[in-house]
Amino acid sequence: MSELAVILGLSGPKLTAAERAFFRDANPWGVILFSRNVENPEQVKRLTSDIRETLGRNCLIFVDQEGGRVQRLKAPHWRPYPAGAVFQTLYAQNPAWGQRAAYLSYRLIADDLRQVGITADCAPVLDIPQENADPIISDRAFGTQPVQVIDIAHAVMAGLMNGGVAPVIKHIPGHGRAEVDSHKALPRIKVSRQTLEQTDFIPFRALHDAPMAMTAHAVYECNSRSAVTVSKKSFTELIRAAIGFNGLVMSDDLDMKALKGGLTRKTERALAAGCDIALQCSGNLHDMVLVAKGAKILTGRAKHRAMVADYCAEHVDAFDRKSAEAEFDVLLSHSQPEQALA
């Protein structure tokens, strides 16, 4: 059975009977987990196994596990990881420290995720925060200059992929200038195309070979009056052409208030604009049905991109966790104490 071009959430820590029936019928390409789906390692491992058994295949299972404010697998069962700003601090002291700490952090995260059957992480964040921007990005960012963002993000990608976890760069083509949180309203980026080319786009261009990217729900007024997620013009000219990203692109969560209209129409618009996959995270079964009505079967180039993303989670390098944690802790000791687990 062909996969539906969607990633969907779940309501709780177990698959309900209704979710099992729906998933068998709709066959979403992937599933994403949130804090409401996470209790302890044994439970998450059972849940991911049940998801794959229900779908009848080894699908990618996603999570947002950046560290800092964005960490779905939390203490006491998982160690807390630092926000991106900590790697920025270390990089400022010694670029090699920042890169090595970022690699180790995400290699450890990858180990956590693989242990419980999660095989894709919505990271790294490539957004460059600007003055007067909404704090939704802030300390999640790896820096304010493209070169340090690129260096740290490459280390993050390596840590995840060496651990058999497929990365998702975000939020393409750049969310760092947004003056409102796209969870609540639609940001409008008003600077010139030239400014974007010389700043925001640079990290995404440097990591254009990443297997997956997530869109920013934002309007880039130099190009279109519609959010890039639902604008074929912006999607094609900015993401595919200007940045040169040819991997799988998923929408950010269609439940976010930045996009207007019903979920069926949002799904149709995102896929028509060029997104390969529509992401919807609420875990509400009624909402998932609405998304499925607007979705389409994964075919053609989108199907090929999805297969490449799947391959990125197939290989796991040998890993000595104890020594990695010891080295990581030494590196963290060089950052500001109050930042170490921010």
pLDDT band at 335 (very low <50, low <70, confident <90, very high): confident
pLDDT at 132: 85
Cα atoms in the 13 Å half-sphere on the side-chain side of 269: 19
Say whether 183 is catalytic: yes
CA distances from 236 to 39, 167, 246, 274, 283 (A): 40, 22, 11, 7, 30
Of residues 134, 252, 255, 310, which has the active-site annotation?
Answer: 252
pLDDT at 131: 86
Domains detected in the chain: 4-28+71-285+307-315+324-331 (3.20.20.300)
Residue scoring higher pLDDT (149 or 338): 149
- Mean residue pLDDT across the chain: 96
Q: What does the DSSP assignment read for 150-165?
A: HHHHHHHHHHHHHTT-
Other CB atoms closer than 10 Å to residue 114's CB: what's the count? 16
pLDDT at 330: 96
pLDDT at 106: 98
Q: Which of 55, 161, 168 minimizes the C-alpha distance to 114?
A: 161
Q: Which of 110, 228, 102 minimizes the C-alpha distance to 177?
A: 228
Of residues 77, 139, 181, 183, which has the active-site annotation?
Answer: 183
pLDDT at 336: 66
Read off the pLDDT of residues 43-94 as tens digits, 9 standing for 90 and up.
Answer: 999 999 999 999 999 999 999 999 999 999 999 999 999 999 999 999 999 9
Q: Which of 81, 63, 203 minimizes the C-alpha distance to 142?
A: 203
Say whether 171 is catalytic: no
Read off the pLDDT of residues 117-157 as tens digits, 9 standing for 90 and up.
Answer: 999 999 999 999 998 889 999 999 999 999 999 999 999 99
pLDDT at 339 over 90: no
